[in-house]
Chains A and B, each alone.
Chain A
Amino acid sequence: MPSVLVSTTINGDAVEYACPQDETLLDSLRDRVGLTGVKEGCGTGDCGACSITLDGRLVCSCLVLGVEANGREITTVEGLSDGDKLHPLQEKFIEHAALQCGICTPGFLIAAKALLDRNPNPTVEEIRYGLAGNLCRCTGYDKIVRAVQAAAKQMRKK
């Protein structure tokens, strides 16, 4: 199957890559662009470790084809911080010990950012349902929810 040239914007930068037509965007991002912060936990859209935003919408990159990113804007965990300044979610995840092994963390951060972008003041229940597409096996979610609450609070002050 011949490869297709894809022109896309990733974390604000213009990026081109060539990928086979049946390759997932997850594999394109990891293996062709080198963005290994996007993780594969299942490859079937069940764990959320590969979460990115595509034109602002939260998606599992394992359920999108690499060729579908042509002409679109992607944000991955590598694009969350502003230069050397961490995003409040990143800061609060560290501060609240919201990660143990850290493999699910990139997906959680992207999903939490997508949640706070549309709902800056979520209830605990809204946080829990907003993050229900992401699996974490280490933390029992307690400190993740608290970190998102703390980040939301800080972001509302700005």
Chain B
Amino acid sequence: MPQDTSYTHQKFNVIGTRPKRPDGIDKVTGRAKFGADTSAPGQLVGLILRSPHAHATIRKIDTSKAERLKGVKAVLTSADLPDLTDGDRAMLDILENCMARGRALYDGHAVAAVAAIDAQTAKKALKLIKVDYKVLPHVTDVDEAIKPGAPIIQDWVFTAGVEPKPKRPSNISQRTEFGHGDVEAGFAEADVIVERSYKTEQTHQGYIEPHACLASVRPDGSGELWVTTQGHFTFRNICSSLLGMDVAKLKVTASEIGGGFGGKTHVWMEPVALALSRKANRPVKLVMSRDEVFRATGPTCSTSVDVKIGAKKDGTITAATAELRYQNGAFPNIWGMLGAMTSFACYDLKNVKSIGYDILCNRPKVAAYRAPSAPMAAFGVESTMDLVAAEIGMDPVDFRIKNAAKEGTLASYGPTYGPIGIGPTLEAVKNHPHMRARLGKNQGRGMACGFWFNFGGQTCTDLNIGIDGTVTLTVGTVDVGGSRASLSLIAAEELGIPYDQVITNIADTASLGFNDMTEGSRGTFSSGMAAIFAARNAIEVLRKRAAQMWEIPVEAVVWEKGEAKAMGKKHGNLPQLSLKEIAAKAPNTGGPIAGHSEVVADNAGVSFASHICDVEVDPETGATKVIRYTVIQDAGKAIHPDYVEGQFQGGAVQGIGWALNEEYIYGEDGRLQNAGFLDYRMPVCSDIPFIDTQILEIPNPNHPYGVRGVGETSIVPPLAAIGNAVSNAVGVRLSHVPMSPPRILKALVEASGS
């Protein structure tokens, strides 16, 4: 697992080491408390009734029999959730997704909920609720949804971004366009033009922990929510707003989180749990089943993408265009826009245009999934890049190197890049031993590149120094995969003390200012930045206290290697004061010693990766096995390299599952047919080889340590890398993800004409 630190010039003491994570023992002994692992006295069991129809009008819901069942304490429908959104359509969409309001928009849409004394009673009560549906025509395919005559999902949606403003509602919620130059002129200059269409199917984030929460609302209108979430402050704001509660009166505590990958950045049933608790005046525990997770919590988009790239014989790309249609589920969002923004971000292009369409279907509301929207765009673009390279007879890596974006490149989505890593990752691919490994029969090699923006956002952090000199770092970003270890390393580095002298905690919403969610690869980047500033503020206090203890001016005190040092001829002979010694005197020198920081951690630093993949395809069955896989990514400074590698490997394997097997399968009736792990098959241990990683550290100039976001980019290249590898193995271009055995066999049969 090599780590190339040659780009980083800063010298660090503990940053870049691999200590044990502080929450490790709890997680290997079963002590860690996840969403479903806590209980409250007198708690009720909540359950949700869901629509079996893809699209229906709800004429009537009769809850009377359920209400009369002994042990049922509350039955809830949208009538219990009045619209308090004051014209904020996006908030109303969230509310309507949590509980249908007169219409069911997808198979699995919540229509009613109960709270009862135990699970058995709650299940019985659900069966007693009678819903009178009028079934409506539905559409679940992204291309079908924009054909004339397709059922309209939202009659208030008129396509935004087109002139003149449309007069009729449409399933296209918006059109967005990015790029620069003159693509027509660019294509006229090309020696070779390749134009291709691609499809990708819908996949789920697949976190192993289903959504779970424990809600408790008191009669005075205050309440508490324990929940598995990527962002408890955002959950607090949304839930309090939807339920008409005061923000300060709802305390949300983030449990340990059993995976999120974007899927736990949205509320799905938490407002319902709170409303049930309010109605029953008892705590309510609401835990989704896996079936509910698949049917009713956001998967990523299915897509349909057209790509056209023109190049000269010397390998210079003269023009590139993409048209990207992204299925958003039943509620409008910006996923197609993100696809359009990311599509050509890896390359330095004179003439480029990408157009994104966001499209509604009778499917669950789409949620973020790790670098949301980028993998599907990359599948189209990176597959086409290989086709163009083949047409002009150029090595696909050299072709990409020739066109790679660099510092100063005007990105296709608008900004001009600072120092970036796409070129170095490609050079590393070229030099990697993986590229020289021998391929056997039915095997093929592919590579592809990927990009993600990364996000900074609002961050608030406290650093408190205890009487014994140990340090509590309190952050508001949920730890989804080891960030407490990284943040402890950062505080230890800044203060000049050992790693195990710092303990990082995640605060509840009552204990810290607002923090954006752990999304956009921001956890370690932004809370790390805030931890550095908080530590620097604490050091200012430590210097003052040392000056006070020595009775010298503070200007004569510096902080070095965890100690206060007196400077100058007059004081230079004073023995140094350690953090522990200063902390011990705190009660007499002015009280507690702390540092705080509130920042908007902008400029997260864009991230690039290049992946290499070898596959073996069984020509009899079409089954594909990944036999060798290498991830090369620019991480900026790697704080805890183990967890950086873990992000690279985890993202790559999610991408492998997406590329080869995972997909939402809808029947003619608009119902999801594979809402379980048996039929929605994610990669298991025996499907996967070791995932080799190479960390490049091209520092982000906007972070004190050069940190970039790390977590998401690794899922961007795999679809295309595997697509290119499979295509090279079988000699036929695959253009539909997942490349499951039936699709590969079909492509082989079509190509052979038999």
Contact = CB atoms under 8 A, between A and B. Distances in A.
Contacts of B289: 43
Interface in B1-52: 18, 20-21, 23-25, 27-34, 36-37
B28 A100 contact: no
Contact of B685 (A30, A95, A97, A131): A131
B369 to A, nearest CB: 11
B638 to A, nearest CB: 13
Given A47-B208, A100-B481, A144-B685, A37 B120 contact: no
A96 to B, nearest CB: 8
B28 A97 contact: no
Contacts of A36: 30, 33-34, 36-37
B550 to A, nearest CB: 42
A20 to B, nearest CB: 6
A103 to B, nearest CB: 3
A84 B27 CA distance: 15
A89 B29 CA distance: 11
Contacts, number: 185
Contact of B28 (A49, A86, A136): A86
Given A95-B20, A141-B653, A77 B684 contact: no
Given A44-B676, A105-B28, A137-B682, A97 B258 contact: no
A137 B29 contact: no
Contacts of A4: none
A27 B683 CA distance: 27
A114 interface: no
Interface in B650-684: 650-654, 676-678, 682-684
Given A42-B290, A49-B208, A103-B208, A137 B259 contact: yes
A136 B261 CA distance: 13
A1 B120 CA distance: 10
Contacts of A128: 685-686, 688
Given A100-B480, A103-B259, A90 B29 contact: yes
Interface residues of A, number: 59
B315 interface: no
- Name the interface size band of chain B: 35 or more
A22 B37 CA distance: 21
Contacts of B30: 35-38, 76-78, 106
Interface string B87-127: 00000000000000000000000000000000110000000
Contact of A40 (B36, B652, B678): B36
A39 B210 CA distance: 10
Nearest to A76: B30
A127 B687 CA distance: 12
A20 B25 CA distance: 34
B418 interface: no
A6 interface: no
A137 B27 CA distance: 16
Interface string A22-52: 1000010010000111111111101101000
Q: Of A1, A86, A141, which is in contact with the most chain B CB atoms at under 10 Å from its CB?
A: A141
B37 A101 contact: no
B25 A139 contact: no
Interface in A130-158: 131-145
A71 interface: no
A46 B678 contact: yes
The 5 A-B residue pairs whose C-beta atoms are closest, nearest first, are A37-B30, A103-B258, A140-B653, A102-B27, A100-B481
23 contacts: A22-B120, A38-B30, A41-B290, A42-B677, A44-B677, A47-B208, A78-B30, A94-B28, A97-B21, A102-B23, A102-B258, A103-B207, A103-B258, A109-B28, A128-B686, A129-B686, A131-B685, A132-B685, A135-B682, A137-B261, A140-B650, A140-B653, A141-B653
Interface of B: 18, 20-21, 23-25, 27-34, 36-37, 119-120, 205-210, 256-261, 287, 289-290, 480-482, 642-643, 645-646, 649-654, 676-678, 682-688, 690-691
Interface of A: 1, 20, 22, 27, 30, 35-44, 46-47, 49, 76-78, 80-81, 86, 89-90, 93-97, 99-106, 109, 125, 127-129, 131-145
Given A97-B642, A99-B28, A106-B28, 14 more contacts: A36-B36, A94-B21, A97-B21, A97-B646, A101-B258, A103-B209, A127-B685, A137-B650, A137-B654, A137-B682, A139-B653, A141-B685, A142-B688, A143-B646
